[in-house]
A and B are shown apart, each in its own frame.
Chain A
Amino acid sequence: MPIDLTTVLHTAELARLDLTYGLAPDKAQAALDKLAAEMSGIIGHFDQLSAVDTEGVEPLYSPMLEPLGPREDCPRAGSAPEDLLSQAPERLGHFFAVPKIL
């Protein structure tokens, strides 16, 4: 199916991406048009799958031959909180800090 600009922008919104971030207004439209054309081409290629007869075929989401069950539910050593917080762009004490939302 052809992908129009509205679909591209809606998808980018779902993915939390700004496709024209940092681009000058005159470049922004061209970048979006190019991306929409590329996506139309790629998704057009995907559309060939609709012709494949998959009646009664179960989807295969993982190639594992013998899926393992859940692990035993028991406590085990994890990462130290300080290790995990050490990579935070911004923190407040033992918390990850983000801009005010209210």
Chain B
Amino acid sequence: MTEMTETTELYQLTLTEAAAKLQSREISAQELTAACLDRLESTEPALQACLTVLADQALEDAALLDRAGPDPDQLLWGLPLTFKDIYCTKGVRTSAASRMLRRYIPSYDAEVVTRIKKAGAVVLAKTNLDEFAMGSTTEFSAFGPTRNPWNPAKVPGGSSGGAAASIAACQSPGALGTDTGGSIRQPAALCGCVGLKPTYGRVSRYGLIAYASSLDQPGPLARRVIDCARLLQVMAGPDDRDNTVSTRPVDDYLSARPAPLRGLRLGLPRELWESRLDEETSAILKAALKTLEEAGVELKTLSLPHLPHSVAAYYILATAEASTNLARYDGVRYGHRADDPQSLRDLYVASRSEALGPEVRRRILLGTFALSSGYYDAYFKKAAKVRRLIRDDFFRALEECDFLCSPVSPLTAWDFGKFTDDPLTAYQMDLMTLPVNLAGLPGLSLPAGLAPGGLPVGWQLIGRPFGERDLLGAGLALEEAFPPLT
């Protein structure tokens, strides 16, 4: 959180502010990196947002940049950024917060890492997550949970919880996360910052440790909407090593301007607004809708009738994809290997059973079940059909409005352990976010206000496929009406 001081500390600068000061040489890359590292050091004992901090390397890289001088063509010149520890980073441990990969050092960079580095950024740290991005609280990290900067007794959300907590605590001005069922948008909401899940296929997944390949999408988190625009500008675009990336031209996101609120048509999916929201969330969001209406926004309640089936469809498809993606962890080529296996089969079973955590094992089991002989049609194929119906609902609804708008999480940040013994209820907490992944649409999560208990409440805008520029414009307008919390 930003502390109210007379002068803004360097670490408090937003990404866009810092970029301007770096380009004009008002501040140096080394000064900013050092300020972020100091901030990180003072906040990290309470938060545990980072799994690896690259202090020496970051300062060295910043010094190199300063020696060469700012380059106006490098959109992220001199900015210290963090990566969720699920992006492969060459020569830097990439654990996916799993015992399985606790000693894994990739020999290559993910495409997004390559692009971000090429744009002049400094890699500051690798952030915490739920193991293999499976979870919504970071409680499933094999290295311990991250805490919410607004209240350390509460979860930061997940799975990109380390990224969101780090941004909210001003450890860095920008972070790269991934969103499979809400893993960028939900922690952004719970930590009071901004998170963007791009359209499926806008950003390369090359070098991301895979969870569910038809749902995973990399995206940015930051303290301002325009910061996310800058990061997306660098991330987006074709990559011939990921055949699911679109070859459509990348829009000029940086030129996005706040959309006029008067006449903006927002569709409110009834099935999400009428589901169980806690009192604080409901009160803040209803007041926010009223403010929008007074500003001339046309609000229209719409029905997306298949949304209530999203949780079931998602958890069948995501776990099925996870069960196949995680079959590669067999103790042979990389990752954890059990000691003294008696046979090849024993090597597989012991290595996997020792090193995969409880939620990952649960999802592998669910997915294996949904794909197994006798159940494939009834579960996996059926879920894929329902997925099409859900996407059709979205396409129809988006014909009747400019954007859809919904809550991000039914609850403000909750206590640790709240859903530990109730995985089904935990899964149902994802109802607001995961339909967007099923449909492959872009979603922008941003703060709507602060609840009386002192915790942030977020909401999201959902746009048309590849409509990120318009989505950012609408987000900028909402950000003017509802000031940032961090």
* Chain A stretch 15-62: residues in CB contact (< 8 A) with chain B: 15-19, 21-22, 35, 38-39, 41-43, 45-46, 48-50, 52, 54, 57-62
Q: Which residues of A contact B333 (CB under 8 A)?
A: 84, 87-88, 96
Whether B246 lies near A38 (C-beta < 8 A) is: no
Number of A-B contacts (CB under 8 A): 175
* Contact pick for B368, options A14, A43, A70, CB 8 Å: A14
Whether B382 lies near A19 (C-beta < 8 A) is: no
Main secondary structure of the interface of B (DSSP, over half): helix
Interface membership of chain B positions 340-371, coded 1 if the CB is closer than 8 angstroms to chain A and 0 otherwise: 01111111111011101000011011101110
Whether A98 lies near B344 (C-beta < 8 A) is: yes
Beta-carbon nearest neighbor of B103 in chain A = A87
A91 to B: closest C-beta gap in Å: 10
Whether A50 lies near B378 (C-beta < 8 A) is: yes
Whether A60 lies near B388 (C-beta < 8 A) is: yes
Q: A41-B424, A42-B424, A98-B344 are in contact. Are A58 and B312 (CB under 8 A)?
A: no
Bound Cα distance from A83 to B64, whole angstroms: 27
Whether A52 lies near B361 (C-beta < 8 A) is: no
* Contact pick for A16, options B108, B243, B246, B349, CB 8 Å: B349
Whether A52 lies near B386 (C-beta < 8 A) is: yes
Whether A39 lies near B365 (C-beta < 8 A) is: yes
Chain B interface residues (CB < 8 Å from chain A): 104-105, 107-108, 200-201, 214, 240, 243-244, 246-247, 306, 309, 311-313, 315-316, 323, 327, 330-337, 341-350, 352-354, 356, 361-362, 364-366, 368-370, 372, 378-379, 381-389, 391, 423-424, 427, 438-440, 465
* Contact pick for B342, options A15, A52, A86, A99, CB 8 Å: A99
* Chain A stretch 50-102: residues in CB contact (< 8 A) with chain B: 50, 52, 54, 57-66, 68, 70-71, 79-80, 83-84, 86-90, 96, 98-99, 101
Whether A63 lies near B200 (C-beta < 8 A) is: yes
Beta-carbon nearest neighbor of B104 in chain A = A87
Chain A interface residues (CB < 8 Å from chain B): 3, 7-8, 11-12, 14-19, 21-22, 35, 38-39, 41-43, 45-46, 48-50, 52, 54, 57-66, 68, 70-71, 79-80, 83-84, 86-90, 96, 98-99, 101
